[in-house]
Chains A and B, each alone.
Chain A
């Protein structure tokens, strides 16, 4: 059936060079009306990419993006804001281009419930949207209470800064206020969590600031794991740039925090002595964003199982989950990965709404980290769809070479900034 449709389509297009690898996307439109209505919840890395690419792949599809904020502050490069390299405007993006240049209907509101049977989304302001396909890309929410004493109120004193914006500025303010010779504690969670290299890039960027402003200070990373992303490269970079300033305490040496006391600014590891800090960046365990939980899309661990070729939910038909909220390992929970998934998902939805065959998917990721302003490192991977789901292509990807010279590290630092400018232009531009 599907094959014959495709052949039919190619005949219709004619021979105009349109066959084989460059068969043009059919602009499927019954007499100019919409080829389908897609609602997307969340205008971050996954959702905004999916919205833009759906419109460019199949302009006849009506796309409505529901985002509760008026602008989007990226977590990528928020560590560089903490380090004083950039201000918050550099990492703030707007929805004007999606709305005006790409024909996405953008609604600023919070999606409060989903009815998968009626195929509707209720918004908190009271209106209801109907959809043919729904994409859910809400990012993360925190498991408040998983660490004794750490709830949303406590995050004012001990910021997580794991969603960028006011929390980023709060942590920066505390760093500016702390004394020279003070202690900064970063508590990193167990896997899986948003941005595996994030806590270690953060330690680097905070060290960069302290080295100039408060050189007698120390950073203690309490970790609920025994190793971490790009570890040999981070440790090498810390030794070169911030000797003696950063100490990493793995889980096996009492690194896992089980409780905090906001009043005395103390963290309590599962074993070993409590530790006080002048600044405490508590990064709690996470789960898929609330709307995914409310809609029953998330499983036991708090994340959403999907068909990894299409990103259609394993629970509800015609609902797709992408980005941090989805179970897409071996892809990490990164902005690059969320955007890559947004493109695959847009392709799969466009194909499905047109009754055409989805091409074999391909996915990619690269996470750059700044160890210093001129010292960049990266981890890359290319993925394909295997029988069991997403697999890394063997022999590809991996981390930057350990023996690279300063020119290489400095090139990767400028490419990190270049990546940021490119991906944000690709998504919100």
Chain B
């Protein structure tokens, strides 16, 4: 039986500024464990908005969101932070690495915050993740000493550190050239096939989308 990792139930969202607009209209879908799914659609159709809701960062919506079978609707800010820490890995278009820390520490931070392993264990694990992404050599550099593609791979390693049940990405290859995009895509593919990782990636890149297990197409706040 397929295990539902994430489920959106009748999710709607309105923006009220400057005029009230409904950006998401009754979104219903679910993701099974190990699925590699892409979301596509025209600019402004609500993909990012949906992803922010699914990642629990945006709580201003109607409908319900179930992660690992648990409703997020009633949870407090602190509990949602814990869910993001433990169960969700997020990769943005921009890498958001902290230049004050080494690459390794950047990857380790969410793991240290989770606090299930000792500092040493988390750092070993962070090193393993960097190895999977082929950038373990850069572990002790500062993020601003890396190339754009390398930074994005560090960001993916950071998303992986707590072995989340789902990885979400909002155009993670959006800032990268063709070659680096291909590398990132291959990494996602490998995570999906080798590690049975569930992935939900928003993309504009048709080739990228076509190579995923399933494409969710959006138009005007609705899923087609």
Q: Do A and B bind each other?
A: no
Chain B residues near A (Cβ < 8 Å):
none
Identify the A interface with B (CB < 8 A): none
